[in-house]
Protein backbone atom coordinates (compact mmCIF):
# COMPACT_ATOMS: atom_id res chain seq x y z
CA UNK A 1 0.00 0.00 0.00
CA UNK A 2 1.36 3.40 -0.98
CA UNK A 3 2.13 5.79 1.87
CA UNK A 4 0.28 8.94 0.83
CA UNK A 5 1.54 10.82 3.88
CA UNK A 6 5.07 10.68 2.47
CA UNK A 7 4.01 11.28 -1.13
CA UNK A 8 2.06 14.47 -0.57
CA UNK A 9 3.82 16.05 2.40
CA UNK A 10 4.85 19.61 1.53
CA UNK A 11 8.37 20.18 2.81
CA UNK A 12 8.35 23.72 1.37
CA UNK A 13 5.47 24.83 3.57
CA UNK A 14 7.75 25.77 6.49
CA UNK A 15 11.25 27.09 7.02
CA UNK A 16 13.34 26.23 10.06
CA UNK A 17 15.32 28.80 12.05
CA UNK A 18 17.51 28.66 15.13
CA UNK A 19 17.71 31.38 17.75
CA UNK A 20 19.95 32.11 20.71
CA UNK A 21 18.93 34.48 23.51
CA UNK A 22 21.45 35.81 26.05
CA UNK A 23 19.94 37.03 29.31
CA UNK A 24 21.33 40.28 30.69
CA UNK A 25 20.62 39.65 34.36
CA UNK A 26 18.31 37.32 36.22
CA UNK A 27 15.91 34.90 34.54
CA UNK A 28 13.29 34.00 37.14
CA UNK A 29 11.28 30.82 37.45
CA UNK A 30 7.51 31.11 37.67
CA UNK A 31 6.39 27.57 38.50
CA UNK A 32 4.92 27.23 42.02
CA UNK A 33 6.80 24.68 44.13
CA UNK A 34 4.27 23.89 46.86
CA UNK A 35 1.94 20.99 46.06
CA UNK A 36 -1.26 22.96 46.67
CA UNK A 37 0.07 25.87 44.64
CA UNK A 38 1.03 23.52 41.79
CA UNK A 39 -2.48 22.08 41.66
CA UNK A 40 -4.10 25.50 41.82
CA UNK A 41 -1.78 26.92 39.16
CA UNK A 42 -2.47 24.08 36.74
CA UNK A 43 -6.23 24.04 37.34
CA UNK A 44 -6.39 27.76 36.65
CA UNK A 45 -4.41 27.49 33.41
CA UNK A 46 -5.48 24.25 31.77
CA UNK A 47 -8.63 24.13 29.69
CA UNK A 48 -8.68 20.38 29.04
CA UNK A 49 -9.98 19.10 32.37
CA UNK A 50 -9.43 15.45 31.37
CA UNK A 51 -5.66 16.01 31.54
CA UNK A 52 -5.58 17.80 34.88
CA UNK A 53 -4.62 14.96 37.21
CA UNK A 54 -1.78 13.75 34.96
CA UNK A 55 -0.45 17.29 34.57
CA UNK A 56 -0.58 17.82 38.33
CA UNK A 57 1.45 14.63 38.87
CA UNK A 58 3.94 15.42 36.07
CA UNK A 59 4.53 18.96 37.30
CA UNK A 60 5.06 17.84 40.90
CA UNK A 61 7.64 15.32 39.65
CA UNK A 62 9.49 17.84 37.48
CA UNK A 63 9.58 20.34 40.37
CA UNK A 64 11.14 17.71 42.69
CA UNK A 65 8.48 18.36 45.33
CA UNK A 66 9.09 14.99 47.00
CA UNK A 67 12.78 15.78 47.53
CA UNK A 68 12.19 18.90 49.66
CA UNK A 69 13.42 18.80 53.24
CA UNK A 70 11.18 19.25 56.28
CA UNK A 71 12.59 22.76 56.65
CA UNK A 72 11.78 23.52 53.02
CA UNK A 73 8.24 22.26 53.46
CA UNK A 74 7.80 24.39 56.56
CA UNK A 75 8.99 27.46 54.64
CA UNK A 76 6.65 26.61 51.78
CA UNK A 77 3.71 26.68 54.15
CA UNK A 78 4.54 30.31 54.95
CA UNK A 79 5.49 31.55 51.51
CA UNK A 80 4.95 31.45 47.77
CA UNK A 81 8.00 29.74 46.27
CA UNK A 82 8.37 29.78 42.50
CA UNK A 83 11.11 28.08 40.51
CA UNK A 84 12.00 26.15 37.38
CA UNK A 85 11.08 22.73 36.15
CA UNK A 86 13.96 20.24 36.01
CA UNK A 87 14.83 16.69 35.02
CA UNK A 88 17.95 14.53 35.07
CA UNK A 89 19.71 16.96 32.69
CA UNK A 90 19.00 20.14 34.61
CA UNK A 91 16.73 23.17 34.63
CA UNK A 92 14.55 24.14 31.69
CA UNK A 93 11.74 26.37 30.53
CA UNK A 94 9.02 25.11 28.23
CA UNK A 95 8.78 25.91 24.53
CA UNK A 96 5.23 27.15 25.04
CA UNK A 97 6.61 29.98 27.20
CA UNK A 98 8.61 31.29 24.24
CA UNK A 99 5.56 30.97 22.01
CA UNK A 100 3.55 32.94 24.58
CA UNK A 101 6.27 35.60 24.63
CA UNK A 102 5.97 36.07 20.86
CA UNK A 103 2.18 36.23 21.06
CA UNK A 104 2.27 38.79 23.85
CA UNK A 105 4.62 41.03 21.86
CA UNK A 106 2.51 40.62 18.72
CA UNK A 107 -0.53 41.84 20.60
CA UNK A 108 1.36 44.89 21.88
CA UNK A 109 2.98 46.02 18.61
CA UNK A 110 0.15 45.17 16.21
CA UNK A 111 -0.88 48.80 15.84
CA UNK A 112 2.71 50.00 15.49
CA UNK A 113 3.23 47.63 12.57
CA UNK A 114 -0.31 48.21 11.31
CA UNK A 115 -1.02 44.47 11.24
CA UNK A 116 -4.52 43.25 12.04
CA UNK A 117 -4.91 40.14 14.25
CA UNK A 118 -1.12 39.91 14.59
CA UNK A 119 -1.31 37.77 17.74
CA UNK A 120 -3.51 35.18 16.00
CA UNK A 121 -1.28 35.20 12.93
CA UNK A 122 1.81 34.52 15.01
CA UNK A 123 -0.01 31.75 16.91
CA UNK A 124 -0.86 30.01 13.63
CA UNK A 125 2.50 30.50 11.89
CA UNK A 126 5.31 30.33 14.46
CA UNK A 127 6.07 27.06 16.28
CA UNK A 128 8.75 26.36 18.88
CA UNK A 129 10.00 22.84 18.22
CA UNK A 130 11.42 21.98 21.65
CA UNK A 131 9.15 21.04 24.53
CA UNK A 132 12.03 21.61 26.96
CA UNK A 133 14.40 24.52 26.35
CA UNK A 134 17.53 24.02 28.45
CA UNK A 135 19.02 26.80 30.54
CA UNK A 136 22.72 26.97 29.67
CA UNK A 137 25.62 28.72 31.38
CA UNK A 138 27.11 31.53 29.28
CA UNK A 139 30.43 30.70 27.56
CA UNK A 140 29.93 26.98 28.16
CA UNK A 141 27.83 24.13 26.81
CA UNK A 142 26.79 23.17 30.35
CA UNK A 143 23.23 23.11 31.65
CA UNK A 144 22.18 24.72 34.91
CA UNK A 145 21.69 21.92 37.42
CA UNK A 146 20.52 24.24 40.19
CA UNK A 147 19.30 27.84 40.37
CA UNK A 148 22.00 30.50 40.79
CA UNK A 149 20.11 31.71 43.82
CA UNK A 150 16.79 32.96 45.11
CA UNK A 151 15.46 36.15 46.57
CA UNK A 152 12.64 36.88 48.94
CA UNK A 153 10.20 39.71 49.29
CA UNK A 154 6.74 40.51 50.54
CA UNK A 155 3.58 40.22 48.47
CA UNK A 156 0.36 41.93 49.45
CA UNK A 157 -3.19 41.14 48.41
CA UNK A 158 -6.66 42.34 49.33
CA UNK A 159 -9.13 39.58 50.22
CA UNK A 160 -12.63 39.38 51.60
CA UNK A 161 -11.03 39.18 55.04
CA UNK A 162 -8.95 42.28 54.43
CA UNK A 163 -5.35 42.89 53.41
CA UNK A 164 -2.96 39.97 53.77
CA UNK A 165 0.82 39.77 53.39
CA UNK A 166 2.98 36.76 52.65
CA UNK A 167 6.61 35.97 51.95
CA UNK A 168 7.50 35.38 48.32
CA UNK A 169 10.54 33.38 47.25
CA UNK A 170 11.74 33.23 43.64
CA UNK A 171 14.50 31.04 42.18
CA UNK A 172 16.61 32.55 39.40
CA UNK A 173 19.58 31.86 37.14
CA UNK A 174 22.22 34.39 36.10
CA UNK A 175 24.53 34.44 33.08
CA UNK A 176 22.17 32.17 31.19
CA UNK A 177 21.37 31.62 27.55
CA UNK A 178 18.95 29.45 25.61
CA UNK A 179 19.00 27.89 22.14
CA UNK A 180 15.82 26.80 20.40
CA UNK A 181 14.35 26.01 17.00
CA UNK A 182 11.50 27.77 15.24
CA UNK A 183 9.41 26.27 12.46
CA UNK A 184 7.71 29.12 10.62
CA UNK A 185 5.19 29.13 7.81
CA UNK A 186 6.65 30.45 4.55
CA UNK A 187 4.25 33.33 4.18
CA UNK A 188 4.71 37.08 4.28
CA UNK A 189 2.42 39.05 6.53
CA UNK A 190 0.61 41.91 4.80
CA UNK A 191 -0.04 45.10 6.75
CA UNK A 192 -3.20 47.18 6.46
CA UNK A 193 -1.34 49.60 4.17
CA UNK A 194 -0.29 46.71 1.88
CA UNK A 195 3.34 46.45 3.03
CA UNK A 196 4.79 42.96 3.04
CA UNK A 197 6.76 41.71 6.01
CA UNK A 198 8.79 38.59 5.33
CA UNK A 199 9.52 36.06 8.06
CA UNK A 200 12.87 37.47 9.31
CA UNK A 201 11.42 40.98 9.39
CA UNK A 202 8.38 40.26 11.52
CA UNK A 203 10.22 37.83 13.79
CA UNK A 204 12.83 40.47 14.56
CA UNK A 205 10.07 43.02 15.20
CA UNK A 206 8.73 40.58 17.81
CA UNK A 207 12.19 40.05 19.30
CA UNK A 208 12.91 43.79 19.44
CA UNK A 209 9.90 44.20 21.72
CA UNK A 210 10.29 40.92 23.60
CA UNK A 211 13.88 41.57 24.63
CA UNK A 212 12.75 44.66 26.53
CA UNK A 213 9.54 43.11 27.83
CA UNK A 214 11.43 40.03 29.02
CA UNK A 215 10.80 36.33 29.51
CA UNK A 216 9.93 34.41 32.64
CA UNK A 217 8.62 35.64 35.97
CA UNK A 218 9.21 38.88 37.88
CA UNK A 219 9.48 40.95 34.69
CA UNK A 220 7.92 43.94 36.43
CA UNK A 221 11.15 44.06 38.48
CA UNK A 222 13.28 44.28 35.33
CA UNK A 223 14.14 40.59 35.17
CA UNK A 224 14.14 38.37 32.09
CA UNK A 225 15.56 40.91 29.64
CA UNK A 226 17.78 39.52 26.92
CA UNK A 227 19.57 40.17 23.65
CA UNK A 228 19.18 38.06 20.53
CA UNK A 229 22.69 36.71 19.94
CA UNK A 230 21.78 34.69 16.85
CA UNK A 231 18.88 34.20 14.43
CA UNK A 232 19.49 32.20 11.31
CA UNK A 233 17.79 29.97 8.79
CA UNK A 234 18.63 26.29 8.74
CA UNK A 235 19.51 24.81 5.33
CA UNK A 236 17.25 21.76 5.35
CA UNK A 237 18.74 20.50 2.07
CA UNK A 238 22.05 19.64 3.74
User: pLDDT tens digits for 95-119?
Assistant: 999 999 999 999 999 999 999 999 9
Residue 142 confidence class, pLDDT cut points 50, 70, 90: very high
Q: Rounded to whole angstroms, how far apart are CA atoms 164 and 235?
A: 56
Q: 3 lies in a domain?
A: no
Strands 85-87 and 126-128: unpaired
Which residues in the chain belong to E strands, given as ranges? 14-23, 26-28, 31-32, 79-83, 85-87, 90-94, 126-128, 132-134, 136-137, 149-159, 162-174, 176-185, 189-190, 196-197, 226-233
Q: 15 lies in a domain?
A: no
Q: 223 lies in a domain?
A: yes
Q: Which domain holds residue 183?
A: 26-233
Q: Closest by alpha carbon to 229, among 22, 40, 68?
A: 22
Q: 14 lies in a domain?
A: no
Q: 203 lies in a domain?
A: yes
pTM of this structure: 0.81
pLDDT in tens, 27-86: 999 888 877 776 776 677 666 667 777 777 777 777 777 776 777 666 655 567 889 999
Q: Closest by alpha carbon to 63, among 38, 44, 39?
A: 38
pLDDT in tens, 56-70: 777 777 777 777 677
Q: 43 lies in a domain?
A: yes
| Mean of pLDDT over the chain | 86
Q: 104 lies in a domain?
A: yes
Report the range of poorest mean pLDDT among 115-119, 164-168, 223-227, 232-236.
164-168
Domains in the chain, number: 1
Amino acid sequence: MENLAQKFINSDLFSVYTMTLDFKGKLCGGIPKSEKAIEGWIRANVEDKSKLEQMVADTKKSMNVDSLSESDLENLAKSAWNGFKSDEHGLYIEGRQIKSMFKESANVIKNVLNVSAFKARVAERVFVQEDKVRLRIVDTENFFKEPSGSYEGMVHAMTAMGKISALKRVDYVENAYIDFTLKILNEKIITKDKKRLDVPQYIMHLITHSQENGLGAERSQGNGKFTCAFFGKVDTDE
